[in-house]
Amino acid sequence: MNRYAKLLANRVVCLLMLLLLWIPVSSLGQSKPNIILFLVDDMGWQDCSVPFDQTKSPLNQRYHTPNMEKLASQGMKFINAYATPVCTPTRTSILTGMNAAHHGVTNWTSPQRNNNSDNPDTQLQAVDWNINGLSPVPNIPKTVYATPFPKLLADAGYHTIHVGKAHWASMGTPGANPHNMGFQVNIAGHAAGHPQSYLGKDNYGNLPGKTSAQAVPDLEEYFGTDSFLTEALTLEAIKALEQSVKNHQPFFLNMAHYAVHAPIMADKRFVQKYYDQGLDSIEARYASLVEGMDKSLGDIMHWLDQKGIASNTIIMFISDNGGLSLKPQRGGEAHTQNLPLRAGKGSVYEGGIRIPMLVKWPGKVRANSIAKQYVMVEDFFPSILAMAGIKNPKLVQTIDGKSFLSILNNPSLQDSTRSLVWHYPNKWIPNDGPGINYFSAIRQGNWKLVYNQRNGKKELYQLSTDLGELHDLSSQYPDMVNALSKTLSVQLRQWKAHMPIVINTGKLLPFPDEL
Amino acid sequence: MNRYAKLLANRVVCLLMLLLLWIPVSSLGQSKPNIILFLVDDMGWQDCSVPFDQTKSPLNQRYHTPNMEKLASQGMKFINAYATPVCTPTRTSILTGMNAAHHGVTNWTSPQRNNNSDNPDTQLQAVDWNINGLSPVPNIPKTVYATPFPKLLADAGYHTIHVGKAHWASMGTPGANPHNMGFQVNIAGHAAGHPQSYLGKDNYGNLPGKTSAQAVPDLEEYFGTDSFLTEALTLEAIKALEQSVKNHQPFFLNMAHYAVHAPIMADKRFVQKYYDQGLDSIEARYASLVEGMDKSLGDIMHWLDQKGIASNTIIMFISDNGGLSLKPQRGGEAHTQNLPLRAGKGSVYEGGIRIPMLVKWPGKVRANSIAKQYVMVEDFFPSILAMAGIKNPKLVQTIDGKSFLSILNNPSLQDSTRSLVWHYPNKWIPNDGPGINYFSAIRQGNWKLVYNQRNGKKELYQLSTDLGELHDLSSQYPDMVNALSKTLSVQLRQWKAHMPIVINTGKLLPFPDEL
């Protein structure tokens, strides 16, 4: 190189460095994948046409979810994915990476502050759980203080969008507002856990003098129209995503549908064929809610294709707990709505906690693959941070979840030593049901221990041969019962998990290893 | 240059071009100024301690707005700034650059779609104005279709934030949602024109069974707390701005306070001293609303200082119409609340249309300067686009406003040939008031013609000597009356402005030059 060339090269290096300095942090994120968490409310493990069991069940044949089928065919199906028995604990676990027994938001939060949603009990005193939910700022009474991952994503240059149900905290606390969780856009998320109405004609509940805390905010554009809530939310989500694309920003979309939570109202676009099949009316309406939700998934996938960004977008699909199985809210016989699983929402039996889960990540996750390893909702926190390339984030909480990225790379990975824990020291419904009200449970490998806090009864099931939890093996395998009781109790004590107090004696109910 | 140098130079040019392509549009905006439009609702020209007249009036002595004083001392005071007589027409003019007679949203829009907010009249039929407001998409019945400037700012890389009152369109139309106007963040903006309550303790109106269309959305975090609405909106605005700073994005903040619109509720932080002064109770509460609004301005200015971005941030302060002067909503004698100006909100007399206006632009606008040139709300559209460096924007509407940037550069600029037009062919209140219901007006130089559509009466005032519009000079200057009638009528016809129809005859009321 001669002198001129060197001089030129030096100048060019300087210029390049200046240019690099001039590029803001946010724009460096462009090579980062877009991430969509498609979170359905109260959807059961069998509420779709994708079989998550070995065979296609009658329920899989009832429901029509062609877009879930497509998503499954393009990515990985997790057939052992779990949530907590009800919504707020799951949503808090997703946002914090903590197990529910650890974050202490063990039941659903009331929209009203300082209001315990537990049902009263004559025998047991309500535990001191975090009734106001999750708080992204410290020193808010009766909340868990934690760093929600959307904040970290926003800091890393992501355009963070929440659409739909939030339900992370009570009104009058910072967590009631998704903006405080790090979402730059919030559409329709607030302190309520279900919509007052799915109908645009009802203004989604915003009717003067009739409005409850469940009236859906932010959708006035659709008031008085025929837009079903699921459709309105999808349109709004796509609108927000258009902005991400325009800004050349990677996005995180928390597409958190209110569907398929009660009130179980017919989505007119789909309900007729279910009525025509002779289904119970409520079940027909429920199936239409499911199909409307699936249409939303399809519309978003179609939009990604149109924009040419599907290949750089991760889509994760889950529900927040098992399907509702209570009568009369659901049709049919109580606790049969999640068959072959036992019971439903609110229960620590599989019907209450097992959820559908799909992950599409073009170029990373093999199409049509199946993962058998059990995973849990708190795993989304470390997984999403890993997807976004965020290392050593500053957190105020210690997380319990494990990233499932290694499973995405290799679906055959299995770890039967991991234990998953459920702890629900609350009274969800006025009368105890199957696995419902004051239960804990642990899964390790294919073994599952179910612990009834109220009466100390322990049940043991082998899920590989008895998915329906019909055959209690506790008397046959007392050592396994003891081992799981110990693991469960040690973990719960470490997390300072709550146990109900017996009103008459003033004593805590025993941890499972104390019996 | 030898061969190697040439080769190197070529490669470098290629590399640079690639790099430039890789830089997103948004990051190019970093040198662009931040822009804040601080828009107060229903604040009169005298509702502050900054004198907009030659001397400090008794009202200027009543109100305490130290932060407005500070802003005035750092920028330019426009002492002849105008809005339309009521809110939606002004807000639509700001967003579209069109005069109200042109965009046809001549009255305030009802939250309910297809609902004409005009009062019924025995003599005149309601005009076919755009009762559903502004629409950013075509073919929405009874709306004006236009390109709102926040869309253009967002496209140019601005982080566009709306906080507070929107009131651009009715529920069930796209314009009800600020997102559709190009705002990436919307906090508390919807179809309603005032808050149901300013109190966090009232959940800003969101009380089960009591909620009206005016319940303020998006603030559940503050429900049940002592946070006054003005304070909650300020905190939320700053939160959104923090994100702009983090993203290294220039921002546009539409800080559109609900204050000081009715319901005139006391802002507890400030009200006591006004009570102590022996003011009428309603007027004391009103003064506290004003001071709370001023505190918000101060908090935002303080935050800009703290972040070190005040020097690159334009702040513009205005109101959307004159101060309310109706009894019993206001205290004192009716139509004295804007003295020395005549009448108040709803009127084409100066009390209804003259507004406080301040502009701070460090390095561009001289501190403590005063502009005498009359300007109008539709001027904000071209001015803001010019501030953001947006040239030849793609618009579906023809704009009427004129950029005031030349005035910012040179406050002594005066153009007495420009004509400003007001046209309000609507019935705002059940009984006609001074300049209220079915009026038009025009200002050219210091002359102002007031036209009563109902009875054809014309009044002529010389504002330089008669700001209070007390001395009708129409019989002394018939040529001036004719000239202004002609200019006004030609303009109104060009805009296809509406005129009321007489019910008995079925005929349109005459344009002023037809009499």
The strand pair at A419-424 and A124-125 is best described as: unpaired
Mean pLDDT of B495-502: 96
Contact B427, B441 (CB under 8 A): no
Pairwise CA distance, residues A103 & B411, whole Å = 60
The span from the CA of B161 to the CA of B253, in Å, is 5
Per-residue DSSP letter, B241: H
Q: For residue B159, list its beta bridge partners.
A: B251
Q: Do A249 and B24 touch (CB under 8 A)?
A: yes
Alpha-carbon distance B458 to B441, whole Å?
A: 9
Residue A193 has pLDDT above 90, yes or no: yes
Q: Mark yes or no for CB contact B218/A217 under 8 Å.
A: yes
Say if B488 is an interface residue toward chain A (CB within 8 Å): no
Asked if A240 is an interface residue toward chain B (Cβ–Cβ < 8 A), one would say yes
User: What confidence tens digit (pLDDT) does each residue in A200-235 have?
Assistant: 999 999 988 888 999 999 999 999 999 999 999 999
- DSSP character string of B7-19: HHHHHHHHHHHHH
Residues 209-228 of B with CB under 8 A from A: 209-213, 215, 217-225
The answer to whether residues B370 and B411 touch, using CB atoms and an 8 Å cutoff, is yes
Whether B23 shows a pLDDT value over 90: the answer reads no
Bridge partners (DSSP) listed for residue B185 = B161
Q: Give the pLDDT confidence of B212-238 residue by residue, as tens digits.
A: 999 999 999 999 999 999 999 999 999
Task: Give the residue among B233, B238, B337, B231 at the shortest CA–CA distance from B282.
Answer: B337
Residue B3 has pLDDT above 70, yes or no: no
A171 with B221: Cβ contact below 8 A: yes
Rounded percentage of chain A residues whose pLDDT exceeds 90: 92
pLDDT 10s digits, A239-269: 999 999 988 999 999 999 999 999 999 999 9
CB distance from B13 to chain A under 8 Å? Answer: no
Instruction: Name the band, by pLDDT with cuts 50, 70 and 90, for residue B196.
Output: very high
- Asked if A26 lies within 8 A of B249 by C-beta distance, the reply is yes
Contact B247 A26 (CB under 8 A): yes
Least confidently predicted of A193-202, A505-514, B201-210: B201-210
- The pLDDT assigned to A496 comes to 96
At A172, is the pLDDT very low, low, confident or very high (cuts 50, 70, 90)? very high
Residue with tokens 């290294």: B248
Q: Which of B176, B178, B232, B177 has its CA nearest to residue B203?
A: B232
Question: Is the alpha carbon torsion for A50, A52, A53, A54 positive or negative?
Answer: positive
Shortest CA gap B181–chain A (Å)? 11
Quick check: A247 and B24 CB within 8 A? yes
Cα A85 from Cα A196, distance rounded (Å): 22
Indicate the residue of A16, A220, A236 with minimum beta-carbon distance to B191: A220
Q: Does A171 touch chain B (CB under 8 A)?
A: yes
* Option in A190, A221, A247 nearest B26 (CB): A247
Query: Bridge-partner residues for A101, per DSSP?
Result: none
Give the number of other CB atoms < 10 A from CB of residue A269: 14
**CB–CB contact A243 B15 (8 Å):** no
| Secondary structure (H, E, C), A325-353 | CCCCCCCCCCCCCCCCCCCCCCECCHHHH
pLDDT over threshold 90, residue B510: yes
The alpha carbon of residue A159 is apart from the nearest alpha carbon of chain B, in Å, by 10
Per-residue pLDDT for A440 more than 70? yes
Q: Which of A242-246, A406-410, B158-162, B468-472 has the lowest mean pLDDT?
A: A242-246
Find the mean pLDDT for residues A181-188: 96
Q: Is the pLDDT of residue B16 over 60?
A: no
* Whole-number average pLDDT of chain A: 94
pLDDT digits (tens, 9 = 90+) for A302-324: 999 999 999 999 999 999 999 99
Q: Do A176 and B221 touch (CB under 8 A)?
A: yes
Per CB-CB distance under 8 Å, the chain B contacts of A110 are none
Using DSSP's 3-state secondary structure scheme, residue A297 falls into helix
Both tokens of B454, joined, read 């109902």
Report, as an integer, the average pLDDT of B152-162.
Answer: 96
Q: How far apart are CA A420 and CA B434, in angstroms?
A: 74
Q: Is the dihedral of CA A126, A127, A133, A138 positive or negative?
A: positive
Is residue B6's pLDDT more than 80?
no
The pLDDT assigned to A2 comes to 57
Q: Residue B228 phi/psi, 5° resolution?
A: -70, 145
pLDDT attached to residue B247: 87
Determine the distance in angstroms separating the CA of A213 from the nearest CA of chain B, rounded to an integer: 6
Please identify which residue in the block is written with the tokens 């009206």. Answer: B212
Buried b (16+ CB within 10 A) or exposed e, A132-145: bbbbbeeebebbbb
Question: Is A438:A426 a contact under the CB 8 Å cutoff?
Answer: yes
The C-alpha angle with vertex B422 and arms to B420 and B424, in degrees rounded to 5, equals 175
What is the distance, to the nearest Å, from the Cα of residue B249 to the centroid of all Cα atoms in its chain?
25
Tell me how close the Cα of B487 comes to any Cα of chain A, in angstroms: 39
Task: Give pLDDT, residue A3.
Answer: 56
What is the per-residue DSSP string for A197-252?
-SBGGGGGG--TTT--TTPPPS-GGGTTSS-BHHHHHHHHHHHHHHHHHHTT--EE
**pLDDT at residue B13 greater than cutoff 70:** no
A113:B224 CB<8 A? yes
Nearest CA-CA partner of A362 in A67, A33, A52, A39:
A33
Distance CA B386, CA B384 (A): 5
Output the pLDDT for position A198: 98
Burial of A391 from C-beta contacts in 10 A (0-12 / 13-18 / 19+)? exposed
| CB-CB under 8 Å, B25 with A177 | no
**Averaged pLDDT for residues B423-441:** 98
Of B227, B241, B156, B171, the C-alpha closest to B198 is: B227
- As a whole number of angstroms, the distance between CA A133 and CA A141 comes to 10
Of A439, A447, A435, A446, the closest CA to residue A481 belongs to A447
B243 chain-A contacts, CB cut-off 8 A: 154, 184
Residue A179 to residue B172, Cβ atoms within 8 A: no
Tell me if B175 and A225 make a contact (CB, 8 A cut-off).
Answer: no
pLDDT at A9 (0 to 100): 57
What per-residue confidence (pLDDT) applies to B25?
40
Query: Does residue B162 surpass a pLDDT of 70?
Result: yes
Query: What was the pLDDT predicted at B50?
Result: 98
Q: Which residues face B252 on adjacent strands?
A: B35, B160
- Residue A378's pLDDT band (cuts 50, 70, 90): very high
Q: How far is A387 from chain B (nearest CA, A)?
A: 20
pTM over 0.95: no
**In degrees, to the nearest 5, what angle opens at C-alpha B186 toward C-alphas A155 and B158?**
60
Give the model confidence (pLDDT) of A280-295 as tens digits.
Answer: 999 999 999 999 999 9
**How much is the pLDDT for B156?**
95
Token couple for B116: 């004409």
Q: Which of B376, B416, B447, B513 is nearest to B90 (CA)?
A: B376
Instruction: Determine the Cα–Cα distance for residues A365 and B238; give it in Å rounded to an integer.
Output: 41
Residue in A113, A213, A243 nearest the CB of B184: A243
Q: How confident is the model at residue A20 (pLDDT cuts 50, 70, 90)?
A: very low
Q: Above 70 in pLDDT, residue A12?
A: no
Percent of chain B with pLDDT over 90: 92
Nearest to A191 among B5, B220, B239 (CB): B220
Is the pLDDT reported for residue A474 higher than 50?
yes
Helix residue spans in A247-379 (DSSP H): 271-276, 281-307, 350-353
Q: pLDDT by residue (tens digit) across B93-151?
A: 999 999 999 999 999 999 999 999 999 999 999 999 999 999 999 999 999 999 999 99
Give tens-digit pLDDT for B444-467: 999 999 999 999 999 999 999 999
Segment B17-28 shows an average pLDDT of: 44
Query: How does residue B203 score in pLDDT terms, banded at 50, 70 and 90?
Result: very high
Q: Is the Cα dihedral B288, B294, B295, B296 positive or negative?
A: positive
Q: Please tell me the predicted confidence (pLDDT) of residue B209.
A: 84
Cα–Cα distance for residue pair A410/B229, rounded to 1 Å: 53
Give, as one character, the DSSP assignment of residue A438: S
Check residue A397 and report its DSSP letter: S
The residue assigned the tokens 């019935």 is: B427
Contact A416, A374 (CB under 8 A): no
One-letter identity of residue B436:
I
* Residue B267 contacts A, CB cutoff 8 Å: no
Q: Which residues of B touch A6 (CB under 8 A)?
A: none
Residue count of chain A, please give it: 515
Mutate to test the interface with A, among B221, B241, B252 (most CBs of A within 10 A): B221
Where does A390-477 have alpha helices with state H?
405-409
Alpha helical stretches, state H, A380-477: 380-387, 405-409
How high is the pLDDT of residue A6?
A: 57
Q: What is this model's ipTM?
A: 0.72
Identify the helix (H) or strand (E) that includes residue B414: none
- Ordered domains of chain B (ranges, CATH): 31-415 (3.40.720.10)
Q: Is residue B1 predicted with pLDDT exceeding 70? A: no
Asked if pLDDT for residue A386 goes beyond 50, the answer is yes
